[in-house]
Structure 1
């Protein structure tokens, strides 16, 4: 059985940086890692990839040949990959014996909550190669500073979770830059735990553009709360504790820790001294580390 991550998220959320940092971290704790680039628009890779979709299809060629824009071109590329899944399978088979896999997907969000091609690619790989994958959905932490964008991020996260049907972890990336985005209306735990969204209504009403959609926003927030599926963990890709905590969550979600308990214990001992503590990197500690004091909040829930 082979374990790995499906790395997804909107453009600019830090997927490629994440794959680079995560692969380095996993290698440091003793895992053999293979990064698979499935983003045909990613032409400046900071990591060494074991498989590159550009060997099969290039976005620039597709756009020229079929007179498509970037979005249409990416959909075409995913369709082409789905139809040529045997190519990807043959590339992955030599890695299955002893590698942990990181799949770096495109940032076009429609591929993961609307179109079926990316889901079909993932599903076929899982069935054919006996993979155990967790979807790691990155969302830029700056969205927390804008209530409207935060609600949009929640809807995107929920839609993606329901569409992909994978073990799923939502991540507020770039948490180390949270202060530079402006004041948060509430403390960080409110945004990670996705607490009572009615508290956002006042802040949404302050923006004339949002106020006219008050009823729609209220209904959307109720949908999110009714499903009660979305929450977030935080990530600073340059912080060992932050990355280590995320690795533990991922390993628990896809079963890696249960398949290799002894090996996992050795790996986790390299992350932090002492016994394994799944909650050692709590939201309160993250807030204390990256936010100087309570003056960063407009008010507290």
Structure 2
């Protein structure tokens, strides 16, 4: 049984920084994880790259050879990855044991995990290889300045949840950069009626029914629960990692070590 995190979220939400901090934390804890780069446009890394999609295809080459723009080129790269799952990915996975822990650092184009099937097919391939996979959705906490932006972030995360059909952990990243944390704390575990009241105050009266439907949807899917992440604090990283490990049942199949408390018998 293998384990995997699929790290997704909008561009600039801190996915690569999260992967780097997670790697350092696990290294200090003498726990082995492997970071995989799935971004064909990536250039620099603060972590050792275990697998790199750029060895298969890179965005710069696609844009130069096919004359595509950044978004079209990225979609082409991910489609190429999908077409080579049985070759490239299979060969790369042969270097790892069945119980290894992989963290996939994904591109930030939101359409990849909201409505096009490439990442979903990638996940299905991992599942067939006996991996337990969890989607880790990062949202920049500095983006959450009012209820409308909070609902927008929830809808984007919900779209990814419905598309990928995976255990899902939502993270508010960059908490170490937030100046007024009290405002953010109001959205960590808010009451639905409070959200609806704030939303109605900001929106025109004709949107009242839509506001009610949105809040009910968010509340029904428990999307109002975000885990704050402050990378300066090891306790915060540990808490986030524990949440993810629980989702993918990491370590639950490990053998129980029993200590013999009885003294040895004399011959």
TM range (shorter): 0.7 to 0.9
Q: For the structure 1 residues 28 and 106, does the alpha-carbon distance in structure 2 shift closer, same or farther, using more than 3 Å as the test?
A: same
Counterpart for residue 179 of structure 1: 179
Choose the corresponding residue for 1:214, options 207, 228, 233. 207
1:98 to partner: Cα distance = 5.3
> 1:112-134 deviations in whole A, cap 9, x for unaligned?
0100011101111221x211111
In 2, are the aligned partners of 1:112 and 1:119 still within 8 Å (CA)?
yes
Residues 1:256 and 2:250 aligned together: yes
In 2, are the aligned partners of 1:31 and 1:99 still within 8 Å (CA)?
no
Choose the corresponding residue for 2:197, options 193, 196, 199. 199
Of structures 1 and 2, the larger Rg is shown by 2
Q: For the structure 1 residues 18 and 141, does the alpha-carbon distance in structure 2 shift closer, same or farther, using more than 3 Å as the test?
A: same
In 1, are the aligned partners of 2:196 and 2:211 still within 8 Å (CA)?
no
Partners of 1:96 and 1:204 lie apart in 2 by 53
Q: For the structure 1 residues 143 and 91, does the alpha-carbon distance in structure 2 shift closer, same or farther, using more than 3 Å as the test?
A: same
Partners of 2:224 and 2:36 lie apart in 1 by 27
1:87 to partner: Cα distance = 0.4
Partners of 1:20 and 1:262 lie apart in 2 by 31
1:166 partner SS = coil
Counterpart for residue 20 of structure 1: 20
> 1:177-222 deviations in whole A, cap 9, x for unaligned?
2226x872xx61x4122421203225524xxxxx487344443333
In 2, are the aligned partners of 1:158 and 1:230 still within 8 Å (CA)?
no
Counterpart for residue 279 of structure 1: none
Counterpart for residue 237 of structure 1: 231
In 2, are the aligned partners of 1:34 and 1:95 still within 8 Å (CA)?
no
Counterpart for residue 31 of structure 2: 31
Partners of 1:237 and 1:203 lie apart in 2 by 34
Counterpart for residue 111 of structure 2: 110
- Unaligned residue ranges in structure 1 (runs of 5+): 206-210, 264-301
In 2, are the aligned partners of 1:5 and 1:102 still within 8 Å (CA)?
yes
TM-score relative to the length of structure 1: 0.78
1:70 to partner: Cα distance = 1.4
Partners of 1:183 and 1:226 lie apart in 2 by 25
Superposition map of 1:90-105 within 5 A: 90-97=91-98, 99-105=100-106
Counterpart for residue 224 of structure 1: 218
Q: For the structure 1 residues 39 and 69, does the alpha-carbon distance in structure 2 shift closer, same or farther, using more than 3 Å as the test?
A: same
Partners of 2:164 and 2:235 lie apart in 1 by 28
In 2, are the aligned partners of 1:10 and 1:109 still within 8 Å (CA)?
yes
Residue correspondences, number: 253
Counterpart for residue 165 of structure 2: 165
> 1:121-153 deviations in whole A, cap 9, x for unaligned?
1111221x2111111110001122132221110
Partners of 1:6 and 1:52 lie apart in 2 by 15
Considering fraction of residues, name the structure with more helix. Answer: 1
> 1:21-56 deviations in whole A, cap 9, x for unaligned?
101111221222211100111111121101110000
2:152 partner SS = helix
Partners of 1:39 and 1:82 lie apart in 2 by 13
In 1, are the aligned partners of 2:3 and 2:99 still within 8 Å (CA)?
no
